[in-house]
Amino acid sequence: MSTLEGRTAVVTGASAGIGAATVATLADRGMHVHALARRADRLAELAEATGCTTHQVDVRDHDALRGLLGGLEVDVLVNNAGVGRGIASFAEADPADLDQTIDTNVSAVLHACHAVLPGMIERGRGHLVLLGSTAGLHALPTTVYGASKGAIHMMTANLRLDLVGTGVRVTEVCPGRVTTEFYDAAIDDPEQRAGLQQTGISELTSWDVADAIAYAVEAPWHVNVTTIELQPTEQTYGGSRFDPVEGRTP
Ligand SMILES: NC(=O)c1ccc[n+]([C@@H]2O[C@H](COP(=O)([O-])OP(=O)(O)OC[C@H]3O[C@@H](n4cnc5c(N)ncnc54)[C@H](OP(=O)(O)O)[C@@H]3O)[C@@H](O)[C@H]2O)c1
């Protein structure tokens, strides 16, 4: 029997991609999962498939989010909802896209963690999981998105210091490219979107990331899995490589 049996999880951004796979994976471990997103039809399909409880909410509505989370006894909070608005070009991005990315990927995460922490600290147990990204760990031409995920990287590190001794664990999960609807939601222009979407490599799947999240959540209580970085085998990041044969830096 899984150690998660009967425990309660909340997953934000549950109507698609990594969030939907995480709901299914944690429900499969016997958890009671609350699934949050804006699209009610998608949530209804997920409830049908997994037995999760759904909540139609925009995570940027801090009062609604805090009201909902404050009323639940949350053992595991997976902060997954995220967008990449403005990812194609910082210079050409609509100013509203900059706000949407920061509000969704950073401010909402701060409020969600803040809302569940009093209960977790009182019970002496809890787990905060934050979806970072390789874009938060390595320099990439993704200025606003990278800024939001870089904030997640320091948020998780600082949370661990803030919370040491409380029994609350904090995990950052940083995937490279995952095949999801992320770029459909991020980029309106079809040509620009196709340019960034078609990598030609075997990307990670949402299930790969959900399995990594489940590994951290299911670890024995004395183990805090701090950071998981997953890259597709055919993709890597950071620095430059000198090729002595061709004499070029790719
Ligand atoms: N795909 C990748 O390559 C990749 C790589 C690294 C990290 N990530 C991160 O992984 C997380 C999940 O992304 P994904 O790839 O699974 O993308 P996705 O398929 O586009 O799913 C994003 C989810 O976030 C929800 N969401 C967006 N804005 C929201 C809001 N304001 N309120 C509530 N829910 C909202 C969406 O639901 P509704 O539209 O129904 O609200 C959807 O369920 C994100 O944090 C992303 O930054 C993705």
Distance 155 CA to ligand 1 centre (A): 19
pLDDT of res. 239: 75
Residue 197 covered by a domain: yes
Respond yes or no: is residue 145 known to be catalytic: yes
Mean pLDDT within 212-241: 94
On whether residue 248 sits in a domain, the answer given is: no
In a domain, 250, yes or no: no
The CATH number linked to 200 is 3.40.50.720
Q: Containing domain of residue 202, as a range?
A: 8-230
CA of 222 to the centre of ligand 1 (A): 30
Q: Judge whether 245 lies within some domain.
A: no
What tokens does 77 get? Answer: 């909070």
Q: Specify the residue with its C-alpha closest to ligand 1, atom 46.
A: 82
Ligand 1 atom 45 nearest Cα: 82
Instruction: With cut-offs at 50, 70 and 90, classify the pLDDT of residue 245.
Output: low
Instruction: Name residues whose C-beta falls within 8 Å of residue 130's C-beta, 6 or more positions apart in sequence.
Output: 79, 109, 113, 152, 155, 156, 170, 171, 172, 173
At position 148, the amino acid (one-letter code) is: S
Q: How does pLDDT run across 110-138, given as a tens digit for each residue?
A: 999 999 999 999 999 999 999 999 999 99
User: Residue 24 is which amino acid?
Assistant: A
For residue 39, is it within any domain?
A: yes
Q: Is the distance from the beta carbon of residue 79 to the nearest atom of ligand 1 less than 6 Å?
A: no
Q: Phi/psi at 94 (nearest 5 deg)?
A: -70, 135
Q: Give the list of residues 6+ apart from residue 33 with CB closer than 8 angstroms, or none.
A: 8, 9, 10, 11, 23, 26, 27, 50, 52, 53
Q: Residue 249 falls within a domain, yes or no? A: no
Length of the chain: 250
> What's the pTM?
0.96
Distance in angstroms (rounded) separating the CA atoms of residues 79 and 163: 17
Q: What pLDDT, in 10s, does the model give residues 177-220?
A: 999 999 999 999 999 999 888 899 999 999 999 999 999 999 99
Is 235 a member of any domain? no
Atom of ligand 1 nearest to the CA of 60: 31
* 141: helix, strand or coil: coil
How many domains are contained in the chain?
A: 1
Note whether residue 171 is domain-resident. Answer: yes
Q: What is the rounded average pLDDT for all residues in the chain?
A: 95
Distance, in Å, from the CA atom of 72 to the CA atom of 37, rounded to the nearest integer, reads 17
Task: Report phi then psi at 135, rounded to 5.
Answer: -70, -15
8 A C-beta contact, residue 60 and residue 33: no
Query: Residue 153 in contact with residue 105, Cβ under 8 Å?
Result: no
pLDDT tens for each residue of 39-48: 999 999 999 9
**Nearest ligand 1 atom to alpha carbon 131:** 45
